[in-house]
Amino acid sequence: MKNLIYLIALLVAVVSCSPDEYSAPANLTADQIEWEYFETDVVNEFTLINKTEGVTTLWDLGNGTTAKGDTVTARYTFAGTYTVKLTVINQGGTVEVQDNIVTDRDNMAFLSGYPYDQLIGEGTQTWAIDAYYKGHFGLGPTIENPVEWYGANPGEKADRGLYDDRFTFEITESGLTVTQVTNGDVYANGGWAADLGTTAGNEEPDGGDFIMPFDGGEFVCSFAGDILTVNGGGFLGYYAGANEYQILALEDDLLDVVFWDTKANFYWFTRFRPLDKLTPEPVEEPKELLALDIMDDFEGNGNIQWSTSDIDKFAVIDNFAPVPINESEKIAIYQKGAGEWTNVKAVLTHYMDLTERNVFSMKVFIPSFNDYETECNPGTDWLATHNLMPQVDVKLQDSSLGGNAWTTQQVRTHVLTSDQQDMWVELTFDFSDVTDRVDFDQIIIQLGNEGHCNSGIFYIDDFELL
C-alpha cells in the first residue's frame, strides 16, 4: 500500500448529531454500523457515507488525513490499497469499522494547482528564511498577530544554523517532497532541542536555544486544508517540536507559516521566500565622525531613539516634582527589575567627535525608598558589590562589537549621597580625556548599579551633549 502521507483529502462535512441527540442503541456493535463508499466521476475520488443515525462520525481516510461528518470526500493521488476507518460515537462509547479502497491508477492532477504550483514554481523551487525582512521570525499568542510578543530584526539570528538552511519543493513519484539542506546544523528551541540529540556543547552564543547537528534529507509532504505536514522527521526552519505548519500566506514568492508550541503555548512564525526573491541584506552607509547635537528632554523634542529591551520599564511620565532645578512637564521613569544588566541604549547614526564636544549632562531623581542594602547575587561573583546603589553611569561604546561592546567602553559614574536623594540633581559626565577615540556610536545609561538582581525605581530628564 502506498505510504498514506503522500495523499490529499478534500473534506466536505455535513452536520452530524451532537452527543445529546444520540438515537442509536446504547450498546452499538460493528454489525449495526451502516456505511458505504463509491467512486465519483473523478479518478481516485471517493464519496464516503455513514448511514447510521444518531451518532458522531469520525473518519481516517487511509491517506494520512482525517475527516468528520456523515458524508466526506477522499482523494487518492496514487494507485494502491487504502484502509478507511470509520469511528462512530454514541452514548455507549465508540465502535470502529474499516474497509479497503483499492485504486489501480494515479491521478497526479491532485498535486497541481494551489498550493502545489506556488511551492514548486516551474517544477522545483528552493526556499529560505527571509532573514533581512524585519519580523521574519517571531512569536505571539494568536494567528492574527503571530509576532505580537517578538519579531526578529533583520539578520538577528545570524550564525545560528538558521539562515543557511534551504528547502526545495518538487513533485516526485512519492508526491510532494521537500529536500531540507542544513549544512550540518539547525537552530533549535531550548525546550525541544533534545529531540535532535545531546544538547551539551551545542548552546547558542547568547541565549537559551541550541545549534544542533542535523543533516536534513528528503521528506514527503502532505496537505490537509491549510496545514502543510513534513513527514518522516523533517521540519521547516526553527525546530520547536512541530512538523505541521499552518499556512498564513502562500504566493509565488512568499510563504508565511505558523505552528503551535505545545510546551510554551504560543505560536511561532516564520517567513520564507524563494532564493531569488529574498530581501537583500541592507547596505550600511559608513558612519561619519561628527559633533552633532545629542539630546532628549522627554517632551518630544529629542533626537535619540532609546532601546528598552534590557529594562522593565522606561517611559515618559508627568514630572511629580517640578521645582526650579527641573520644571519640565515630562520626565522619564527608569524602572529596574531583577535583570543584572538593566540599561537603556541608543545607537547613533554617526560616530561622536569628542574633540569638540565631550561632556554630557543629565538631571536625575534618586528616591530614598529603594532598598540599597540587601544583596542579591545572580552568579556574578567576580563583582565586588551585589546590591542596588544610588548610582548613575553613562557609557560610550562601539556598537559594531555587539555583545562585546563593553570591552572597549568608557564609563563615567556618579554615586549620590543620602543628602542628594529625593530631589532633582544635575550631573555631568566628562569624556574630555578620551578625545582620541573615534569609534563611539553607542550610549548606555544605567542606574542602580549592575551585576545584581535587586529592583529599583529612578527618574531622569534632560539628557544632553553639551
CA angle 403, 409, 414 (to 5 degrees): 120
- List, as own/partner pairs, every contact residues 25-32 make where C-beta atoms lie below 8 angstroms and the sequence separation is at least 24, other chains included: 25/90, 25/92, 26/90, 26/91, 26/92, 27/92, 28/52, 28/55, 28/88, 28/90, 28/92, 28/95, 29/95, 30/95, 30/96, 30/97, 32/95
Percent of the chain residues past pLDDT 90, beyond the cut: 79
Are 123 and 170 in contact, with CB atoms under 8 Å apart? yes
Report domain 4-106's class: mainly beta
Pinpoint the residues of the chain covered by CATH 2.60.120.260. 289-465
Contact 437, 354 (CB under 8 A): yes
CATH of domain 112-277: 2.40.128
Query: Does the pLDDT at position 17 exceed 80?
Result: no
Residue range(s) in the chain whose domain bears CATH number 2.40.128: 112-277
What topology does CATH give the domain 289-465?
Jelly Rolls (2.60.120)
Whole-number Å distance between alpha carbons of 384 and 262: 42
Q: CATH 2.60.40.10 region(s) of the chain?
A: 4-106
Q: Which residues pair with 250 in a beta bridge?
A: 255
The answer to whether the predicted template modeling score (pTM) of the entire model surpasses 0.85 is no
The answer to whether the CB of 372 falls within 8 A of the CB of 386 is: no
Angle formed at CA 100 by CA 98 and CA 103, multiple of 5 degrees:
155
pLDDT digits (tens, 9 = 90+) for 425-440: 999 999 999 999 999 9
Q: Three cell numbers at 11?
A: 473534506
Amino acid at 55: V
Highest mean pLDDT among 1-15, 95-109, 357-371: 357-371
Could you tell me which of 347, 460, 357, 332 has the C-alpha nearest to residue 395?
347
**320-354, pLDDT tens digit by residue?**
999 999 999 999 999 999 999 999 999 999 999 99
Each residue of 353-390: pLDDT tens digit?
A: 999 999 999 999 999 999 999 999 999 999 999 999 99
Nearest to 80 by CA among 106, 116, 47: 106
